[in-house]
Amino acid sequence: MSLKAALLGAGLAAMSAASAHAQPRVDTPPDWPCVQVFVPTLSAATIWAGPPVEDYLKAWPDNREIASLATRVVSRAVPDDEANAAIDRFAGSIQGDRNETLTLLFAGVFDEANRMRSRAVDAIRKFDRAQKGMLANMTKTVGELDKARAAEPRDEARIRELGEQLAWQRRIIEERHRSLGALCEQPAIVERRVGQLARTIANHME
């Protein structure tokens, strides 16, 4: 069986948006708010059925053409069809060891995607820590409002101030919570892109 056939066989057939679930499991940190399984970093072996990429991960930045292409096709600003077409054009221009060059390209794509995904994971965890801080502040405001309402004599101006503050805090927290679903999807979007690009690259291997 050719390398191309092997790449497009069972290994790549298993790739999908759920690829992260095949990654090594780690303990979920307390600042991970998503229903998606916490996977801090991707493993190339679950995405790529070709040659090991460890050495290529160190070498790809030194190839200016591949570095430029890898960075561009991973970018969210580049549509899927445009990213795939760019890889097709590059593959058509390869001279020399085709599989070596394409493996180097995948290493660049994977490395860039992993960095992008790590930033998304860090942003989610930072979001959760900030949200919990806001909830703690809102709880504090509730306590202050309860004390103000129970005080004698009552300070109506203070009660109104705390009531308005509580309403504002609740509104901000609810608005942020509505954005959590889209935020939690960001790592999966990167996973889908790198899986798609891996299949496109594999399609050109011999």
Q: How far apart are CA 138 and CA 184, in angstroms?
A: 24
Say which amino acid occupies 116.
Answer: M
> For the chain, what percent of residues have pLDDT higher than 70?
88
- pLDDT, one tens digit per residue, over 111-142 is 999 999 999 999 999 999 999 999 999 999 99
Of 149, 131, 125, whose CA–CA distance to 34 is shortest? Answer: 125
Please check the confidence at residue 169 and state whether its pLDDT lies above 60: yes
Given a contact cutoff of 8 angstroms between Cβ atoms, the answer to whether 80 and 189 are in contact is no
Query: If DSSP states are collapsed to H, E and C, what string results for 14-79?
Result: CCCHHHHHHCCCCCCCCCCCCCCCCCCCCCHHHCCCCCCCHHHHHHHHHCHHHHHHHHHHHCCCCC
Average pLDDT, the chain: 89
Residue 24: predicted pLDDT: 54
Please check the confidence at residue 14 and state whether its pLDDT lies above 50: no
pTM score = 0.83
Given a contact cutoff of 8 angstroms between Cβ atoms, the answer to whether 105 and 66 are in contact is yes
Please check the confidence at residue 199 and state whether its pLDDT lies above 60: yes
CA dihedral 62, 64, 65, 69 (to 10 degrees): 90
